[in-house]
A = this chain, B = another copy of it.
Amino acid sequence: MAISKNQHLKMQEKRDRILEKAISLFSEQGYNDTTISKVAKASGISFGSVFTYFPSKEDLFHSAVIEPIEEINSIMLDFNPEAEDSLNELKIMVNSHINLFAKLSTYLQLVVQVIGQHSRFKDQFDELNFFHNEFCSKLALLLEKGQKKGQIRESDPIFAASAYFSLLMGLRLTMTDEIDEKFWGNFAPFALQLFGPISYTKSISRLAKPKAAYSNR
């Protein structure tokens, strides 16, 4: 019993290792240039063993795209749409998102590929899109509340949410260097600006001062 449990744990670890390396490789080299053999080598596992844990390359890719979603989404959705001080809630949310995107460079590159070739990766895209819609809807609620309270200017909340998400993805797409979190932080004010914060008007100049020089890319 204990042995079996141990065995099970080891296998879980192995599976995780494969998946981690697969995400890395898929994101850097794309689907076709990532061969099973490369994944196996990177994972320190024999060639054939990959098929013990994932029935096919397609499945491995699917897992690589889908499995991390949940954790990420819980962070993305970690704000209170009913918050009294909507603007403050937005600020906190934006900072949290920026931090997240700064960290998840590798995985998000994979997401970009899936979105960029959504007809090729239809299944994966549909799942990503589901979460995207969920996110926009929830954020729209918060924005609506803020608008009602006069904390942010009127605008279509779904569009605003969508634009905000696009900005995050666009930043992730554009910031190709290994850029540290502080640098990313500089974009938080601009992201917030999208929502049209009213009391925020004055402070932008202060916040928007770069904390790190914009290295010439």
Contacts and interface: CB of A to CB of B under 8 A. Distances in A.
Interface in A98-118: 109, 112-113, 115-118
Interface stretch (A55-63, A74-82, A87-95, A204-212): A204-212
Contacts of A158: 214
What's the dominant secondary structure at chain A's contact region?
A: helix
A170 interface: yes
A129 B186 CA distance: 20
For chain A, give the interface size range.
35 or more
Give the copy number: 4
17 contacts: A30-B32, A109-B117, A113-B113, A113-B117, A115-B174, A116-B116, A153-B205, A154-B205, A154-B208, A155-B208, A159-B190, A159-B210, A163-B187, A163-B190, A169-B174, A193-B193, A194-B194
Contacts of A109: 116-117
A20 interface: no
Interface in A179-217: 186-187, 189-191, 193-194, 196, 201, 204-205, 208-210, 214, 216-217
A171 interface: yes
A108 to B, nearest CB: 9
Given A190-B194, A196-B204, A176 B118 contact: yes
Nearest to A109: B116
Interface centre among A156, A170, A194, A205 (most CB of B within 10 A): A170
A196 B192 CA distance: 11
Given A115-B176, A193-B196, A214 B156 contact: yes
Contacts of A37: none
A215 B174 CA distance: 27
A170 B176 contact: no
Contacts of A169: 170, 173-174
Nearest to A147: B205
Contacts of A174: 115, 132, 162, 165-166, 169
Contact of A28 (B117, B156, B168): B117
